[in-house]
Amino acid sequence: MITKKSYRSHETVRPEAAEEGGTADSPANSFGFFPATGLPQVHAITEYAVDTWQRSVLYADVMRQRGNQYQAHLTEEVPNVLDFPSEVILSGQDLPRPVNYWLVRIVPPKDKPTDNMKRPFVVIDPRAGHGPGIGGFKVDSEIGVVIDAGHPCYFIGFLPDPVPEQTIEDVMHAQAAFMEKVLALHPCREGKPAVIGNCQAGWQILMTAAMRPELFGPIIVAGAPLSYWAGWRGRDPMRYTAGLLGGSWLTALTSDIGGGRFDGAWLVQNFENLNPANTLWNKQYHLYSNIDTEAQRYLGFEKYWGGYVFLNDVEMQYIVDNLFIGNRLATAELITSDGERIDLRNIRSPIVVFCSYGDNITPPPQALGWITDLYGDDEDVLTHDQTIVYATHDSVGHLGIFVSGAVSRKEHHKFTTNIDLIDVLPAGTYRATIAGDAPKNSGPSIGNYELSIEPTRMVDLRDIVQPDPESDRRFAAVAQLSKTNLALYRQFVQPWVRQAVTPQTAHWVQTMHPLRLSYEWWSDHNPLAPLVADTAKKIREQRAPISEDNPFLQFQGIWSDAIVKTLNLWRDARDDACEKAFEWTYSSPWVQALAGQSGDDEPMRQRPSVTPEHRAFVAQEIEELRDAVTEGGAIEAGIRAVFYIHRFCSSIDERRANLTLELHQPNCDRGFDMDSFRAIVRRQANIMRLDTDAAITALPQLLAHEEPGRIREVARTLERLRSIGPLSTAEETSLTQMLDVFEVAATAQDTVLS
């Protein structure tokens, strides 16, 4: 993004020149478009010419450093961009099904030691074209936030080259092994490890959690696509790519030309094509126009952006066929080679979905559509005992969701510091909002903002996702025709391609990729590089940036804005044409008939069924809840009281939730049994949801065997709700009612004991 300069309004206009649009000695007199500055015209031109030359040399030198950095990154044994020291805990290459992944422990700085009594976090970066480390490539990052909060932190990364024949299932088994290792290293009761999965790592960790739900605590997926057909008309053109290219046969061809490996640079190329203004102009112009301050930030990001990795052909084909085109994850259609169905409804941990309206790679419909795909209504979510929290950002782009320092200091900070609150939320869907602004100082420090979690409904999610059965019909036709085209390619073309490609030609094709060439051509290997480096050094020693009042500099900004607007207009026209071509092609009755679709209105995506065993389980659970209405003690009574007091409240804020933790264990600084507390809260929530009147009527029975001191201690904790914030009239009345119940129970116990 370009940081626009602030164009100042100049008021040094002589009265006699005001009507002419400028001063007599201003360039505006000659050209009519420069504001009056008071600078002599010759001086302005000279100053701008010198500054332009200096910026050009400094820009060329930064690009030279970028090339050197790229070359050095390629020679690293384990290329990554982590800004934190780490130590390898487990290598995926040593597993029974070897993969190119590894688990490392982040070594915290001495001034921020880890509290091993806190639950560990595991951060996983996407293998979507780039190398690992973006989740912790600076202090203001996801890993930085976790370290700042005192949690043990682990990171799952990967090498540039996959192990031959490794598959997506192998990676899932490796991630499960890594989680087992983290659990073994932290056998405390503070809760199971929390996991942050960025982009492609989000869907992959959810697939693993569906297979091994017992290994996971809360799971945060940031910018992760899960429902690939979803999107808003006129806004999300990337989802049309496969249909316009005829399906996944091109993926197979690309892998074959690469000698059995898919070059991640092609994925990055797809990302860059989405925003030509940024790719072709904005990013480089922003560096050029801010060359005195932007170089280090630019080089830090480019180290990640240019660190391309590879995937095996079977991995990439699986992803494209089953996810991008087939969209089979969100409707539980994926089955492993062992015959196990990957059903996201099996996940028992809370799932936090973080997405942004400014994301053109994973827009909110693709991040949230799996919920409306899997569940028919709110009752469906409850009967599967699943907790889903979603949070949306108004404007940040795709990478900013897990890279932006402002997002880390605000959203990721609040998710991390309130992970226990998220873990104990009862089943249901919730919307998380964060009030206030993130702090502008460096470091993930606490700002003046607060997390609030509001229960929501499936209808609210559908308003965001906007499911479109007709659009699904088109994408279903793409999926079917893709299978046909892929089969034709494999039968008639693939044998010839594989016969023609040698390791040497595959290496040449990868080396000559346009994105790689952009890093390769200009570095210290170029004979002109020493001259540029020496000149840039001399310029930095005597650098004097141009005045912002210079009219030529202001015209440069206007010219840049015109380029950006032109490229954006071209992008919009291109995207609109692609969308119309896609809809025209795949709305055709002939194409849909070729894809095996009938003319009826049967939905193209059937929601996964509910088994008879599940219905029997739910019926049994309801009976057990009815029997448990009179079971429990002071803890259960206190939690029911909190639910009763806030039954009309539209949101759950972190202060009230943290107060509730004290009901379970007043001195919870050490040894807090989070799993036990979570089970109690969720069970009492279900009892209250089943029959609120019966649950409250039974409170005296729950308190009948408690010590009077313990009853009054819980009552005092409840009374502190008044000090947290103003209560509504209904909440105040309910609190008074509950305090009376507890006091009557304590008095009765005093009588019994006396």
> Does residue 472 surpass a pLDDT of 60?
yes
| Residue at a domain's end among 439, 467, 495 | 467
Q: What's the pLDDT tens digit per position in 699-736? A: 999 999 899 999 999 999 888 888 877 888 898 999 99
Which domain covers residue 643, as residue numbers?
612-753
676: confidence class by pLDDT, cuts 50, 70, 90: confident
pLDDT of residue 188: 66
Q: What's the pLDDT tens digit per position in 178-208? A: 999 999 999 866 789 999 999 999 999 999 9
Q: What's the pLDDT tens digit per position in 321-351? A: 999 999 999 999 999 999 999 999 999 999 9
Helix (H, G, I), strand (E, B) or coil at 437: coil
445: confidence class by pLDDT, cuts 50, 70, 90: very low
CATH of the domain at 159: 3.40.50.1820
In a domain, 486, yes or no: no
Distance CA 300, CA 298 (A): 5
11: confidence class by pLDDT, cuts 50, 70, 90: very low
Give a three-class secondary structure readout of 191-204. CCCEEEEECHHHHH
Alpha helices by DSSP H, listed for 445-550, are: 458-465, 469-492, 494-500, 503-511, 514-520, 529-541
* CA Rg value for the chain: 30
pLDDT of residue 328: 95
In 3D space, the residue among 94, 124, 128, 71 whose CA is nearest the CA of residue 262 turns out to be: 128
Helix (H, G, I), strand (E, B) or coil at 550: coil
pLDDT over 90, % of the chain: 73
In a domain, 68, yes or no: no
Distance CA 310, CA 265 (A): 8
534: confidence class by pLDDT, cuts 50, 70, 90: very high
Residue-level length of the chain: 754
Please state, as a whole number, how many other Cβ atoms lie within 10 Å of the Cβ of residue 68: 18
pLDDT of residue 232: 94
In angstroms, the Cα distances linking 236 to 230, 359, 369 are 9, 9, 14
The tokens describing 611, both together, are 């088994």
| Residue at a domain's end among 437, 467, 497 | 467
The tokens describing 216, both together, are 């996971």
Q: Across residues 498-507, what is the average pLDDT?
A: 96
In a domain, 106, yes or no: yes
> Does residue 617 surpass a pLDDT of 90?
no
pLDDT of residue 665: 57
pLDDT of residue 444: 39
The tokens describing 598, both together, are 């009938």
Total number of domains in the chain: 2
pLDDT of residue 16: 35
In 3D space, the residue among 183, 38, 37, 204 whose CA is nearest the CA of residue 125 turns out to be: 204
> Does residue 441 surpass a pLDDT of 90?
no
> Does residue 668 surpass a pLDDT of 50?
no
Start-to-end CA span in the chain (Å): 74
> Does residue 475 surpass a pLDDT of 80?
yes
Beta bridge partners of 434: 451
Q: Across residues 561-588, what is the average pLDDT?
A: 96
Cβ contacts of 537 within 8 Å, gap of 6 or more: none
Distance CA 239, CA 571 (A): 15
Tell if the pTM clears 0.75, that is, is over it.
Answer: yes
In 3D space, the residue among 167, 173, 178 whose CA is nearest the CA of residue 211 turns out to be: 173
In a domain, 404, yes or no: yes
Beta bridge partners of 308: 130
Distance CA 583, CA 575 (A): 12
In 3D space, the residue among 151, 152, 138, 150 whose CA is nearest the CA of residue 443 turns out to be: 138
Residue owning tokens 């030198």: 61
| Residue at a domain's end among 467, 483, 509 | 467
Distance CA 163, CA 728 (A): 60
pLDDT of residue 610: 80
117: confidence class by pLDDT, cuts 50, 70, 90: confident
Helix (H, G, I), strand (E, B) or coil at 527: coil
pLDDT of residue 579: 96
Please state, as a whole number, how many other Cβ atoms lie within 10 Å of the Cβ of residue 499: 9
Q: In b/e form, how buried is each residue of 78-113, taking b as 16+ CB within 10 angstroms?
A: bbbbbebebeeebbbeebebbbbbbbbbbebeeeee
Q: Which residue has the higher pLDDT, 506 or 672?
A: 506
The tokens describing 224, both together, are 């992760």
> Does residue 660 surpass a pLDDT of 90?
no
pLDDT of residue 507: 95
> Does residue 300 surpass a pLDDT of 50?
yes
Q: What share of the chain is helix, strand, coil (3-state, %, to 5)?
A: 55, 10, 35
In a domain, 538, yes or no: no
Cβ contacts of 17 within 8 Å, gap of 6 or more: 23, 24, 26, 29, 36
Strand stretches in 130-213, DSSP E: 153-158, 194-198
Distance CA 406, CA 439 (A): 8
Q: What value does the mean pLDDT of the chain take?
A: 88
> Does residue 4 surpass a pLDDT of 60?
no
Q: What's the pLDDT tens digit per position in 246-297? A: 999 999 999 999 999 999 999 999 999 999 999 999 999 999 999 999 999 9
Contact between 217 and 195 (Cβ < 8 Å): yes
Q: Is 630 exposed, middle or buried (0-12, 13-18, 19+ CB in 10 A)?
A: middle
Residue owning tokens 């990364």: 157
Q: Across residues 538-563, what is the average pLDDT?
A: 92
In 3D space, the residue among 39, 13, 12 whose CA is nearest the CA of residue 554 turns out to be: 39
In a domain, 386, yes or no: yes
Cβ contacts of 470 within 8 Å, gap of 6 or more: 587
Distance CA 400, CA 717 (A): 40
Distance CA 405, CA 141 (A): 6
Parallel, antiparallel or unpaired: strands 121-124 and 194-198? parallel
In a domain, 81, yes or no: no
Amino acid letter, 632: G
The crossing angle, in degrees rounded to 10, of helices 249-257 and 469-492 is: 40
Q: Across residues 56-72, what is the average pLDDT?
A: 96
In a domain, 26, yes or no: no
